[in-house]
Amino acid sequence: MAFNPPINDWHGKTVWLVGASSGIGRATAHALHLLGAQIIISARNQAALDQFVQEHPGSIALALDAGDAASVKAAGESVLQAGPLDLVLYCAGYYKEMRAAQFDLKEMQTHNQVNYMGALHVLDSVLPYFLSRKAGHISMVSSVAGYGGLPQSLAYGPTKAALINLAETLYMDLQDSGVAVSLVCPGFVETPLTAQNKFTMPGLLTPEQAADEIIKGWQYGDFEIHFPKRFTRWVKLIGLLPRKFYFPLIRKFTGL
């Protein structure tokens, strides 16, 4: 079943990727550029953006701070003034391990500001435009960490769970509007964020493999794009268990 209109041809389509100076976002921007899309890439790292533009002629760089509403609003206005926008991918992310004994309110707020509030800032910039056109596609990168509570994910997991709920609600609200919504829930991908992990990451993918999965999901018209399925299906299944089974299983698998 296709939840969204399948995207099979990227020529003539403009894609704005927010938080894409490295990792999954950059790899997706690169892949879409090769497929013929007009790429607009945003992040805080101006040097990384400039390098991307040098390597991908015709692409556009717009520096912004996803956690700052005014910064995103200004960038969004520039994007929409440049011409029709077809898809926006919110892939900004922030992650630091945290457990309850090390509770840090400032870190909790930073996670929320980047991972969740940043998505709301982007929505504020593009949703009225998409609704007026009765077309467009909003895609947000969450994580399997949002499927259920996990040790060391006290700050990160709740923000990703919020994105899952946000995307689901948006889809239901917009399904008759012509505006598509998709949710990306990766497992472990080699990025600067996961480089912090000190444990073996099952099903670890490269950013390029993740980008291929995302583009494939858009091509199929999927709502939820999760990968690698040999890992994410098990995580989803465990999340359905009663908590009397869920908590001991998570403790056994993580050792925490």
Structural domain contains residue 90: yes
**For the domain that residue 222 is a member of, what is the CATH number?**
3.40.50.720
Structure token digits, residue 256: 């925490």
Q: How far is CA 54 from the centre of its chain?
A: 24
Q: Classify residue 1: in a domain, yes or no.
A: no
Whether pTM exceeds 0.85: yes
Q: How is the beta sheet containing 180-186 ordered, strand by strand?
A: 60-63, 38-43, 14-18, 87-90, 137-141, 180-186, 224-227
What is residue 196's predicted lDDT score, i.e. its pLDDT?
Answer: 66
Which residues, 6 or more positions from 74, have their beta carbon under 8 angstroms from its beta carbon?
64
Q: Which two tokens stand for residue 118?
A: 């940043």
Residue position matching structure tokens 């497929």:
35
Residue 7 lies in a domain: no
Question: What span, in angstroms and rounded, lies between the C-alpha atoms of 99 and 177?
Answer: 41
9 within a domain of the structure (yes/no): no
Query: What's the token pair of residue 38?
Result: 């007009």
Looking at the structure of the chain, the number of domains it has is: 1
Of 50, 53, 95, 46, nearest in space to 71 by CA = 46
Q: What is the pLDDT of residue 74?
A: 96
pLDDT (0 to 100) of residue 205: 85
What is the predicted pLDDT for the residue at 123? 98
Within 8 A by CB and 6+ apart from 223, the residues are 3, 4, 167, 171, 181, 182, 183
Cα–Cα distance measured from residue 65 to residue 252, given in angstroms and rounded to the nearest whole number: 39
Per-residue confidence (pLDDT) for residue 197, from 0 to 100: 61
pLDDT at 209: 93
In a domain, 5, yes or no: no
* 3 is a domain residue: no
Write out the residue range of the structural domain in which residue 119 sits: 14-254
pLDDT (tens, 9 = 90+) of the chain, 256 residues, equals 789 999 999 999 999 999 999 999 999 999 999 999 999 999 999 999 999 999 999 999 999 999 999 999 999 999 999 889 999 999 999 999 999 999 999 999 999 999 999 999 999 999 999 999 999 999 999 999 999 999 999 999 999 999 999 999 999 999 999 999 999 999 877 766 665 666 566 667 899 999 999 999 999 999 999 999 989 999 999 999 999 999 999 998 887 7
Q: What is the structure's pLDDT at 3?
A: 95
pLDDT score, position 188: 75
